[in-house]
Structure 1
Amino acid sequence: MPNTLTEQDYRQAAQSLNTEVAVIKAVTEVESNGRGFLPDGRIVIRFEPHLFHRYTQGQFDATHPDISFPHLRKGYPTSTSHSWQLYDRAKVLNLKAARMATSFGLFQVLGSNWPDTGSKSLAEFITRMSKSENEQLNLFCHLITAWGLDDELRNHKWAFFAKVYNGPGFKLMKYDDKLADAYKKHSN
């Protein structure tokens, strides 16, 4: 199984984004509960059926209503294991759409955001995500810089960060509140 992040990894990331280690740890905790890989070595993912619906124009809504539907559902998928089950079925139907509709690793970077991670292709992005938590951290830092969100992290603008990073449904999932709470915890 790939190595977990070290304190030095967190310090380097915080330095590259000109922010605090507690900020990076807060995002790590909220996005993946601090795990980039499962005990069996598979990467932590979250398959998003509403995004699979978008990338396939609803083509599979009627035939596969558990993996393709138009709106975000809080609490669905129910777990990483459930996400893997859905993802494995979705990629048989449309590999590219399944990858684009899945968030990967410690920072749950959505496959469709691969161009902003410094990767040359979606396949390279997934390969790099699968290497190590440190590589996941590097891809995250590249994304944050590309999106200009480093100042939101630095200034603890959790709601703005969550809106851009997690999408317009961030309030439904209370990402901003979770980030603020995790930051307080890691600041002590």
Structure 2
Amino acid sequence: MTTLRHGDRGQDVRVLQQRLNQTGAGLYVDGHFGDATEIAVRNYQSKIGLVSDGIAGPKTLAALAGADCSCLLRHSTLATAAARLGIELAAILAVNEVESLGSGFLDNGKPKILYERHIMYRQLAKPRHSDDNVAELKAHAVELAASQPNLVNPRPGGYVGGTAEHQRLANAKLIDDTCALESASWGGFQIMGYHAVRLGYASVQEFATRMAKDENEQFEAFVRFLEADPALLKALRAKKWATFARGYNGPDYERNLYDTKLQRAYQRHAAGCSMPEAA
């Protein structure tokens, strides 16, 4: 679905303006996404509780078309997180815009996941009790890697994307439920399951259940991830975008311009947060 933002022009913007007018925006329908349209988008998002970022993305457009928004990320969730973390709201909005997948769920209602076969290999070989035989665990992982390399493998890969990742996960759960759930990244921020207990969840099973509930639960996992990494949280508080991007995205962050994208998104949101509401 198209994403419309400040500066865009065309028929899609005209349709957006018409739909906003149906909610009482009072826009002049000219096909230009200017300041008035951005304010109207923010007002509509605030009215229905969506993240108020002034961008008419798939969630906002779907809401305008009458879709159910009950599982979507709420603006109040971001505002509460900003206060909890001691971070400027505009910075939280920027991170949500740049670092999330946009939506935490697939069209069939299941949470977005990515199953990592090399993590499964590692988790299967990981001792969990004092009497675990490390050599036997490793041998078992090696054996499974030989017989089911798409599910257990010392090398990453085998990705199929979308709903098919859930089938890979289901097959991996037949080998070991806990290791399989730990070996998938979950939701809009792709938090790995093996972090679950460290982030305060009773088990990875509880974590997976909550990731399947709604995007607000998925964002809660991201907030806990920040709280568990003082250096990352400090960088975000100070708006040191390169430091944050390096910590969150890894050494390739520059190639994808994550720091630049974060800075630009923050500047836009900082300006947007001070924009007056439309009369």
Please state which band the TM-score falls in when normalised by the shorter chain: 0.7 to 0.9
2 CA distance for matches of 1:108 and 1:23? 19
Do the aligned partners of residues 113 and 165 (structure 1) sit closer, same or farther apart at CA in structure 2, a change above 3 Å counting?
farther
Task: Report whether the alignment pairs 1:133 with 2:215.
Answer: yes
Given candidates 11, 19, 22, the residue that maps to 2:87 is 19
Residues 96-155 of structure 1 show CA distances to partners (whole Å, capped at 9, x for unaligned) of: 111111111122111111123221222211122222211222222123112223212222
Give the match for residue 237 of structure 2.
154
- Pairs aligned (count): 183
Give the TM-score normalised by the residue count of structure 1.
0.80
User: Counterparts of 1:77 and 1:30 in 2: how far apart (Å)?
Assistant: 23
TM-score by length of 2: 0.57
Tell whether the 8 Å contact from 1:48 to 1:102 is kept in structure 2 after alignment. Answer: yes
5+ residue gaps, structure 1, are none
Provide closer, same or farther for how the CA distance between residues 27 and 84 of structure 1 changes in structure 2, counting only shifts above 3 A: farther
Say if 1:27 and 1:179, in contact at 8 Å, map to a contact too. no
What is the percent sequence identity of the aligned residues?
Answer: 32
Q: Which residue of 2 aligns with 1:93?
A: 175
Consecutive unaligned residues in structure 2, runs of 5 or more: 1-67, 126-140, 269-279
**Residue by residue, what CA displacement relative to the aligned partner does 1:53-112 show, whole Å, maximum 9, x if unpaired?**
111233321112222222345xx6242334223212211122111111111112211111
CA distance in structure 1 between the aligned counterparts of 2:240 and 2:156, rounded to whole angstroms: 24
**Cα–Cα, structure 1 residues 173 and 161, in superposed 2: closer, same or farther, change >3 Å?**
closer
Distance change in 2, residues 1:101/1:173 (3 Å): farther
Larger RCO (CA under 8 A, 6+ residues apart): 1
1:53/1:178 CA distance change after superposition, 3 Å: same
Task: Give the counterpart of 2:115 among 4, 25, 47.
Answer: 47
**Larger-gyration structure (1/2):** 2
Where does residue 79 of structure 1 map in the other structure? 161
